[in-house]
Amino acid sequence: MRRLAALLLLLLALAVTVQAAPKPPTLVLETVEVDPATPGPDTLCKLSVTVKSSGEKTASALGFRVRIDGKELPVYRNELFFRPVAPGVAKIRLHNFWSSETGRPFPASGRMTVEVTLTEARWMDVKTQEGTEVWTPVGVVEGLPVTKSVTLSLKKPR
């Protein structure tokens, strides 16, 4: 009888654990791209990310946080990107940045890590009404934040 009770308790605990497993996020940062991929000192770098959506609706109102070698770029603090991310994959251009600037010198290590975090997003209902496209927020995207980073090898200063 004790074995049966212990077995039932074990099965119940396993069932609760399986149900409590978190669902994977419906928006994922697949890539972080920096152009040029090997910047030198005082180089203007273009930044973009590839976002994969497994949701059923279009996502938008994307909030990002960007860090270069651990230092946050403040331009992203109060900004949302209203780019559509339909189910599938979308490339989003973010702000350019300098490889070195006041307060963030060119790394002596010869490497620079660019970290991008998708902090927030909303699902949108997109309809055409009387010839005008109308976007209506219908919910917060769950499972955020998600982060992806890339480490660049740098050109040596002359």
CATH code of 123's domain: 2.60.40.10
Q: Which two tokens stand for residue 112?
A: 């620079």
Residue 35 lies in a domain: yes
Answer whether 24's CB lies under 8 Å from 82's CB.
Answer: no
The identity of residue 152, as a single letter, is L
Residue 19 lies in a domain: no
Residue 16 lies in a domain: no
Task: Enter the pTM of the model.
Answer: 0.83
Q: For residues 87 and 158, which has the higher predicted lDDT (pLDDT)?
A: 87
Domain limits at 36?
A: 25-153
pLDDT digits (tens, 9 = 90+) for 51-60: 999 999 999 9
pLDDT at res. 14: 57
Q: Find all residues with CB under 8 Å of 80, minimum gap 6, and list them.
A: 61, 62, 63, 120
Question: What mean pLDDT do residues 38-58 have?
Answer: 96
Residue 99 lies in a domain: yes
Percent of the chain whose predicted confidence (pLDDT) is above 70: 86
Structural domain count of the chain? 1
Question: What mean pLDDT do residues 41-50 have?
Answer: 97
Residue 29 lies in a domain: yes
Residue 101 lies in a domain: yes
Residue 12 lies in a domain: no
